[in-house]
Amino acid sequence: MIRPGHTFIIAELSANHGQDLNIAKETIRASKRAGADAIKLQTYTPDTITIDCDNIHFTELLNGTIWEGKKFYELYKEAYTPWEWHSKIFEMAKEEGLKCFSSPFDKSAVDFLETLNPPAYKIASFEIQDIPLIEYTASKGRLMIISTGIAELEDIELAIETCKKAGNENIILLKCTSSYPAPIEEANLATISDMKKKFNVEVGLSDHTPGFISPVVAVAMGASVIEKHFILDKAIGGPDASFSLDETEFAEMVSAVRMAEKSIGKINYNLTEKSQQNRKFGRSLFFVENLKKGQIVTAENVRSIRPASGLHPKYLGLLLGKRLKNDVLKGTPVSWSDISE
């Protein structure tokens, strides 16, 4: 899925379907129009990701978040994508030319997704410590995309080690800030290049900051994958609407990312044809006074100025103190033929 010079852009459907399959389908079409390379789902049910419980562990943790007032079970009941939709979504994505894969949240989700032959699995930020889930998912031999939103260094190391022990070294890490929405000053995108060197894997960005400045900067920092929540219309609402991009915004992000790719280019010290032509507008040595044969060259009568029609400025020191072979007019490019030995 990943190829050099092309940032792989994932549209995260998440809960942005309002429990309406038609909205989900139209969202896939819109993500294709907006330039996404893939659509990503989340595969769980309220009962596979949590339990229906009213104690403080399942209610108070959401206080102070955009999901305040709900308990975990209610949140995931609102947000989950019905499993019976998955085959239809995978089929439509294929018709649209999009890759389609998902984040499994337990082993049963992995087993279910295996029937759909996904090209990859995404381990969500909050599951990076679920080592049994990572081990089981990695054992399927598919590309592992692992988000690091709540991970400390040792969590990342353990997740990678777990994949490798399962015989899977096909790993991409996503730099992520698990805040919804995430303040842009907490993006810390400099970490991307460090992660690439430290873990020797491809690295991307799972972004929850407003707009798309962070994805563009991430590409400049070496990101090969960008994941961003996509919503057909923010009026749909839902748990993730506030930090999702609509079709117009997502298309602008894709365009900006593609421009960033072009500007990065490759390491190259050779001049383009246009730049080579423009060297004539550079500096060179000119006589800046009318001078007679035999006069001495000084810093006052020979200067480095534009354009580049005369000798290279590096020769100025050699010329000073020399005598002229012939008369010269102000504005004449300096040539060795004008200088006595």
| Structure tokens given for 293 | 């044969």
| Fold assignment, 273-338 | Type Iii Antifreeze Protein Isoform Hplc 12 (3.90.1210)
pLDDT tens digits, 57-98: 888 877 777 778 788 899 899 889 999 999 999 999 999 999
Provide long-range contacts, Cβ within 8 A and 24+ apart, for 156-163. 156/128, 156/195, 156/199, 157/199, 158/131, 159/123, 159/128, 159/131, 159/134, 160/199, 160/201, 162/131, 162/134, 162/135, 162/138, 163/134, 163/135, 163/138
Q: Domain 8-44+80-264 - what CATH class?
A: alpha beta
**Strand-strand pairing, 284-287 and 302-305:** antiparallel
Residues near 292 by beta carbon (within 8 Å), at least 6 away in sequence: 324, 327
Residues near 262 by beta carbon (within 8 Å), at least 6 away in sequence: none
Identify the bridge partners of residue 339 per DSSP, sorted by sequence position. Answer: 324
Q: For the chain, what are the domain ranges?
A: 8-44+80-264, 273-338
pLDDT tens digits, 129-157: 999 999 999 999 999 999 999 999 999 99
**The model's pTM:** 0.88
pLDDT tens digits, 184-207: 999 999 999 999 999 999 999 999
